[in-house]
Amino acid sequence: MVSHSELRKLFYSADAVCFDVDSTVIREEGIDELAKICGVEDVVSEMELVSRLQERNVQVFLISGGFRSIVEHVASKLNIPGTNVFANRLKFYFNGEYAGFDETQPTAESGGKGKVIKLLKEKFHFKKIIMIGDGATDMEACPPADAFIGFGGNVIRQQVKDNAKWYITDFVELVGELEE
């Protein structure tokens, strides 16, 4: 178990930071956004944090149990390459009818976010990966993530608030950490 001060140091020196998307990077759940054709205006407040991380050569990833078509749109607004997006792919029949989702994606499985982080460590040899999110599945990704930062700026999930070593409600706090 790392202390709060150790967690702050880990964040400051991270090789990579992974964000959940639904209710973290965007205010709504993806399925709600799909119905509204993905209103990504909510992303603006998170852009500064992502930009600061990228300026420090920190790799930024979006890991979501939501739909890749939505998450890729959010990623483009944040200048995150599509190769740094891990989410579920929708499948359609040739006639255009919905056929389900691609079960081969790691995010389609229980513990999928942790599997993605393990894959990132193996592929890129990251030493310190931070996971930021609002939900239990985000918290469960640590380990293999080296630290978890709970986020309650859009939705407060009591389990996350009670169990996260570092719980924030505004990304401004993390931007401030990078300025020290």
- In terms of Cβ atoms closer than 10 Å to its own Cβ (0-12, 13-18, 19+), residue 118 is middle
20 classed as catalytic: yes
C-beta of residue 141 within 8 angstroms of C-beta of residue 159? no
Distances in whole angstroms, Cα of residue 62 to Cα of each of 30, 68, 95, 162, 179: 13, 10, 31, 24, 23
Q: 18 — phi, psi (to 5°)?
A: -110, 130
Distances in whole angstroms, Cα of residue 81 to Cα of each of 24, 145, 161: 18, 21, 30
102 classed as catalytic: no
How remote is the C-alpha of 65 from its chain's centroid?
10
C-alpha angle with apex 93: 90 to 97, nearest 5 degrees?
A: 80
Catalytic residues: 20, 22
